[in-house]
Amino acid sequence: MRRFSICVTALAAVLSAALPAAAENAYPNRPIKILVPIPPGGAPDVVARLVGDYLSKAVGQPVVIENHTGANGNIAGEAVAKAAPDGYTLILAADSGIVINPHVYSKMSFDPMKDLVPITSVATNQFVLAVNPKVPVKTLQEFVAYAKKAEPPLAFASGGVGSQHFFAMEQLKQRAGFTVLNVTYRGGSPAMQATIAGETQVLFAGGESAGQFEAGTLRPLAVSGKERSKRLPDVPTIGEVYPGYAVDIWLGLFAPAGTPQPIVDKLRGTVQALLAKPEVAAKINVSGSLQPLVLSQEAFAARIRSDDQKFGKLAKELNVHIQ
């Protein structure tokens, strides 16, 4: 009897170890959900829907995109951090939700650096400093001179205190010596609409604004990255006027911490294979500023650590705190 009991116990141990492995091998066998921390229309939303569409075809399961807005991405981040670590709830996060929020929010219910695991980098983007066409400036230099004299200060539409838009403007203000009134919105797309409508006069626009420049509803003055935009070749970089200024952002796919490594590896390999397809890269780059960003697991982790240190220092220097 004792020998039989030992055999049963051993068999149970083998089966219990085999079940998770079987589940990982069968992944995915139901719909995958990708949360986006901004409203529809912004760069993370555009990229998430594109990746989701191709990912669904690749794995043979629906990929559902859900917009969970608010708190600079903390609402969506918390939902994913507290979800079951089974690969079925992911987030397409902007860098601000991972490496900025922990340094500016006095209280957070989760730690992005510990409670989320990076799957892969997905895309990179730069901003375009743009104004409502009624603002009588056509260059960055003219804008700075006008902003210095504006009374009341020009209204700047941002994605919120602590967002990348916010830090991009704060760094420009420091270099150029002017001030603006920060008006916050739930992401870049609402900020863009506010500036088009004249509620605000200036913003750092994302790639989703390219059509507005062509239509004349926004006027581009300068791009924030190290290189000029291929779609806006005549628009200078801010660094051409203020050497050393450079701001770009990255978007990445993350899962809850504890997600089995085989699932993380499968998602990484599938998404990176999709990003390597010319037609996917072309669709991501339709705005002229969004570019696929495919980094190795080690390189992406290093970029996250580096940006975490950079924004921690910057938030402290600017004394940025959100209660």
Tens digit of pLDDT for each residue in 126-151? 999 999 999 999 999 999 999 999 99
The DSSP call for residue 322 is B
Contact 68, 36 (CB under 8 A): yes
Tell me how far apart the alpha carbons of residues 180 and 246 are, in angstroms, rounded to a whole number: 20
Question: Is 8's pLDDT higher than 90?
Answer: no
Q: What is the DSSP letter of 199?
A: S
Beta strand 32-36 with 63-67: parallel, antiparallel or unpaired?
parallel
pLDDT at residue 130, rounded to an integer = 98
What's the CATH superfamily of 31-124+249-318? Bordetella uptake gene, domain 1 (3.40.190.150)
Q: What is the pTM of this model?
A: 0.83
Domain ranges of the chain: 31-124+249-318, 128-240
167: buried, middle or exposed (CB in 10 Å: 19+, 13-18, 0-12)?
buried
Contact residues for 268 (Cβ-Cβ < 8 A; gap 6+): 119, 120, 297
Cβ–Cβ under 8 Å, residues 183 and 167: no
pLDDT, mean of residues 63-73: 92
Reply yes or no on whether the pLDDT at 188 is more than 90.
Answer: no
State residue 213's pLDDT score. Answer: 92
* Domain 128-240, CATH among 3.40.190.10, 3.40.718.10, 1.10.287.110, 3.40.710.10: 3.40.190.10
Q: Tokens representing 313?
A: 């220092």
How long a stretch of residues is the chain? 323
The per-residue pLDDT for 22 is 53
Q: Average pLDDT of 224-236?
A: 91
- Element (H or E) spanning 214, and its range? helix 210-215
**Rounded CA gap, 9 and 60, in Å?**
37
Q: What angle do CA 196, 202, 206 make, to 5 degrees?
A: 75
Residue 19: its pLDDT value, please?
43
Which band of pLDDT confidence, cut at 50, 70 and 90, is reported for residue 16? very low
Q: Is the pLDDT of residue 55 over 70?
A: yes
- What confidence score (pLDDT) does residue 64 get? 98
Highest mean pLDDT among 4-8, 18-22, 236-240: 236-240
Q: How confident is the model at residue 187 (pLDDT cuts 50, 70, 90)?
A: confident
Q: Supply the mean pLDDT for the chain.
A: 90
- d(Cα 293, Cα 164) in Å, to the nearest integer? 18
* Residues 189, 217 contacting (CB under 8 angstroms): no
Q: Find how far residue 198's CA is from the centre of its chain.
A: 26
Question: What average pLDDT does the segment 87-97 reach?
Answer: 96
Q: How many other β-carbons are positioned within 10 Å of the β-carbon of residue 123?
A: 28
Domain 31-124+249-318 matches domain 128-240 at the CATH topology level: yes
Q: What is the pLDDT of residues 283-300, one digit of tens each?
A: 887 655 688 999 999 999
A 10 A CB-CB count for 316 gives 12
